[in-house]
Amino acid sequence: MDMNAREMQSILEEVSLENLKQNLNRLSDFHTRHSKSPLLNDASDWIINKLKGLGYKNTFYHFFKSTIDNKEFELRNVICKKKGIDDKTIMICAHYDCIMNRKEDSNSRAPGANDNGSGVSAIIEIARVLAKENLRHSIQFVFFSGEEQGLLGSKAYAKYFKESGMDLYRLINLDMIGNPFFSPNTVIIERDNNTDIKHNHVKENDIESIEFGEVMKDVTSTVGLQFHLDSIYDSDYEPFEARGYVVIGVYDGSADAIKNPHYHSSSDLPENIDWSYLTSVTKLVLATVLKMDSINSH
């Protein structure tokens, strides 16, 4: 189970820029992935079939009901479980829905390439690479719906997760990892150290989150990235943090409606993705998972 640097490097090299591109292009081909659009179900079907095609049999929808703009919708998270030697679970998650500047607009073209086709594409590629690896810990690859409508999917799944008594060891959330507009080649590692109670409900999990961030930080140079340390903010890790779990996030820093013209717009297209950066961040997440898995084998 011990993993040396060379073994890790050879696994990281399997991450394919071409696959990342294909996954992301496919997701952006849906006219929209707005949570009110029936097209989002088609996107979830595509994700689930993709995972099953990689050999993951324990892959299923987690259904939940939510009200959006005064109407009730049945939404779906996609869950894919990889059994390890133990039940301690590392969750790698991303939202697969998207949105326009007008929150209720479910008809306009909304390609959501960076937000968050990038995160979804990366997790599918990580799942592909890990399919043949035997890990100590169990993994859940999770794709949330309704994020842009108020973290609906992650709230529903965090509740279900806690109530089912599953053992969540660590969580990594990927939300916008396709273009570091404002600081080239730099990844933002988000830890649970926010001073605002609204974004840091539980204090007891902070230290482990910061330590987990250090593990990720220490592998950034291995994948050729610079890092910036920041805090979790407004994404799917928050409902898990609020239930006491240890979470971090990766992010490119481009969620700025004023400075980034593509944010939540019809121009959030694959042509604006920095493919080499996306490949590096995908490797970073994979390396962090491998590292966590081997640290605990001692």
Which residues lie near Zn ion (CB under 5 A)? Answer: 115-116, 175
Nearest-approach distance from CB 94 to Zn ion, in angstroms: 8
Question: Which residue in the block uniquely carries the two structure tokens 């696959």?
Answer: 19
- The residue among 175 and 252 lying less far from Zn ion, judged by its C-beta, is 175
Adjacent-strand bridge partners of 186: 226
Q: What are 277's two structure tokens? A: 């950066």
Nearest-approach distance from CB 149 to Zn ion, in angstroms: 11
- CB-CB contact of 54 with 163 (8 Å): no
- CB-CB contact of 105 with 79 (8 Å): no
What single letter denotes the amino acid at residue 72?
A: E
Nearest-approach distance from CB 172 to Zn ion, in angstroms: 15
Phi, psi of 171 (to 5 degrees): -130, 135
Nearest-approach distance from CB 115 to Zn ion, in angstroms: 4
As a three-state string, the secondary structure of 81-141 is EECCCCCCEEEEEEECCCCCCCCCCCCCCECCHHHHHHHHHHHHHHHHHHCCCCCCCEEEE
- Beta-carbon contacts of 40 under 8 Å, excluding residues fewer than 6 positions away, are 30, 32, 33, 34, 75, 96, 97, 145
- The residue among 12 and 278 lying less far from Zn ion, judged by its C-beta, is 278
Nearest-approach distance from CB 32 to Zn ion, in angstroms: 14
Nearest-approach distance from CB 7 to Zn ion, in angstroms: 33
- The residue among 55 and 261 lying less far from Zn ion, judged by its C-beta, is 261
Nearest-approach distance from CB 31 to Zn ion, in angstroms: 18
Query: Which pairing describes strands 71-82 and 59-68: parallel, antiparallel, or unpaired?
Result: antiparallel
Q: What are 20's two structure tokens? A: 């990342």
- The residue among 123 and 130 lying less far from Zn ion, judged by its C-beta, is 123
For the CA atoms of the chain, what is the radius of gyration? 18
- The residue among 115 and 125 lying less far from Zn ion, judged by its C-beta, is 115
Adjacent-strand bridge partners of 94: 143
- The residue among 178 and 213 lying less far from Zn ion, judged by its C-beta, is 178
Adjacent-strand bridge partners of 76: 63
- Measure the CA–CA gap between 93 and 285, rounded to whole angstroms: 11
- Measure the CA–CA gap between 47 and 50, rounded to whole angstroms: 5
The residue among 288, 280, 285, 286 whose CA lies nearest residue 215 is 288
- The residue among 173 and 280 lying less far from Zn ion, judged by its C-beta, is 173
Nearest-approach distance from CB 1 to Zn ion, in angstroms: 34
- The residue among 94 and 156 lying less far from Zn ion, judged by its C-beta, is 94
